[in-house]
Amino acid sequence: KEITDAPILIIGSGYGGAVSALRLCEAGKKVVMLEMGLNWEKSGIPFSNMLKPGKSAAWLKKKTIAPFMNIFSLTPFTGTLDRMDFEHINIWVGRGVGGGSLVNGGMAVTPKESYFREVFPDLDAKKFYSTYFPLVHKELKVNVIGEQFLKDCPYYKFTRVGEAEAHKAGFKTIRVPNVYDFQYMEKEYKNEVPRSAFNTEVIYGNNHGKNSLDKTYLKKALDTGNLEILDLHCVDNIKLNDDKTYTLNVQQTDTSGAVVADKVFNCKKLILAAGTMGTLKLLLKSNATNNFPIHEQIGKSWGNNGNFMTGRNWVKPLSGGTGAKQSTIPVGGIDNWEDKEHPFFTEIAPLPMGMDVATALYLLINRVDKKGEVSYDSINKKLSLNWDQSNTAKMKENADYFIKKMNRANGGTRSHFLFNNGFGADVCYHPLGGCVLGKATNEYGKLNNHDNLYVLDGSLIPGTIGVNPFVTITAIAEYCIENLIRQNEFA
């Protein structure tokens, strides 16, 4: 087996991994990053759009795995979108250099300060809102759509209809910032540049316009000359050595998923940034197979960030519905968070199907009243999740309240076209928690019971943050790595 020694290893190239890499590289450290997905930019393979799913559409699957309408066959390829299926919930994640930033909708939402304080009572919220969130907005290139463009552009009819209907039903709407470059979007509308958001590109990757991590944090980190990214390298398990260093068993694959090399990596310092589910799998599996020490809090306080999908059919069919042409980039949201009985936030989501299906799609984000727990099933060798309908009962009540109120004011029915009973309780885009900051780790993400292991990704957030999570994941990672470097953890 090929053996590599690296002083600092990062597993995963999503938000937590990318932030850690940049700040360590800027501090002059040599960093090796292992990513199981493909380096799409280097491969030169274009991303496919939603109407013509191709190589990038799914992680080694024979059929597409979007939340609905999976009518397309595929040749298995290491695509960008993966789905982990559990009995009561399906969890979508991004794969590839850039992690979730490749497949997500780019919605860059800062949590409400009051809720951030509630979720993280021990953090200095003032410092987050004055320093880390503004820093993250700058690094991620967060921007806002021009109101006039939004008003005029036929591709945003679904947003305009959604907002007008929400107002009629008595709800408050908000403009949602995004990392998609809206100046690029205005040019693509005029056909001055190739189309991406207006060409149904998003959950299988964007060829243009979107400032995913490969164009921001990772690019800056690579420019320092201190970062090496090894793609198609999947970490199978971790061992703790007597001298407190780590040994990783890694499989290098080709794009069909076949193993081309079994490798061993040794490192002094290890950063786990494999995303909530990836990090939990590595910790729990290594514990089950290698006696890897883990703290009792690992797997606890897991949540779906209150994700609950729902939709309405026959949305204003006579006035032309929600539009045949739809941008893939959401810019509108309904903010009902202050309602004591039914607190939720919902994205007015696009449904770019190439025809007007007079259907509105919503991804609700609720509080998580009842958290779940992740463990490892050694017999079937996979993660198991303690999560069922009781965890989403209140979310369903909120969705029902929302849909009924919208339909009463505007007409329409609950969407049986999109979901079996009109409710997608099992759709999760935002798995969070299981390795909570200050509980399973110290105050800066150093794992309890370890001297040289750090967790820096969505698993630090205790299952809920009230809005789409990547801005918060990035800010927490900035805060942790800054303090870890200051404490000479990587000296």
Q: Point out which residues bind ligand FAD (CB under 6 A).
A: 11-16, 34-37, 92-96, 99-100, 103-107, 203, 234-235, 273-276, 278, 282, 429-430, 457-458, 468-470, 473
We find the least distance from the C-beta atom of residue 191 to ligand FAD, in angstroms, to be 26
Closer to ligand FAD by Cβ: residue 34 or 123: 34
Measured CA to CA, the distance from residue 266 to residue 243 in angstroms comes to: 12
Please report the DSSP string for 212-266 in residue order: -GGGTHHHHHHHTT-EEEE-SEEEEEEEE-TTS-EEEEEEEE-TTS-EEEEEEEE
Closer to ligand FAD by Cβ: residue 394 or 430: 430
β 233-240/246-253 pair status: antiparallel
We find the least distance from the C-beta atom of residue 471 to ligand FAD, in angstroms, to be 6
Catalytic residue among 430, 443, 450, 482, which?
430
Closer to ligand FAD by Cβ: residue 275 or 332: 275
Nearest to 176 by CA among 370, 36, 330, 398: 330
| Token digits of residue 191 | 């056909």
- Catalytic status, residue 347: yes
C-alpha distances (whole Å) from 48 to each of 52, 58, 78, 121, 226 are 6, 10, 13, 42, 32
| Token digits of residue 290 | 């290698």
C-alpha distances (whole Å) from 190 to each of 187, 209, 327 are 5, 14, 14
Closer to ligand FAD by Cβ: residue 265 or 402: 265
Closer to ligand FAD by Cβ: residue 43 or 413: 43
β 2-11/31-34 pair status: parallel
Closer to ligand FAD by Cβ: residue 357 or 461: 461
Is 69 in a helix, a strand, or coil?
A: coil
We find the least distance from the C-beta atom of residue 473 to ligand FAD, in angstroms, to be 5
Catalytic residue among 35, 139, 163, 347, which?
347
Which DSSP helix (H) or strand (E) runs through 41? helix 40-43
Is 66 in a helix, a strand, or coil?
A: coil
Closer to ligand FAD by Cβ: residue 100 or 306: 100
We find the least distance from the C-beta atom of residue 194 to ligand FAD, in angstroms, to be 22
By CB atoms closer than 10 A (0-12, 13-18, 19+), residue 40 is buried
| Token digits of residue 267 | 């490192």
We find the least distance from the C-beta atom of residue 475 to ligand FAD, in angstroms, to be 11
Neighbours of 307 (CB within 10 A): 26
Would you tell me the crossing angle of helices 157-168 and 389-410 to the nearest 10 degrees?
90
CA 123 to chain centroid, in Å, comes to 23
Measured CA to CA, the distance from residue 10 to residue 453 in angstroms comes to: 10
- Catalytic status, residue 430: yes
Measured CA to CA, the distance from residue 126 to residue 148 in angstroms comes to: 34
Catalytic residues: 347, 430
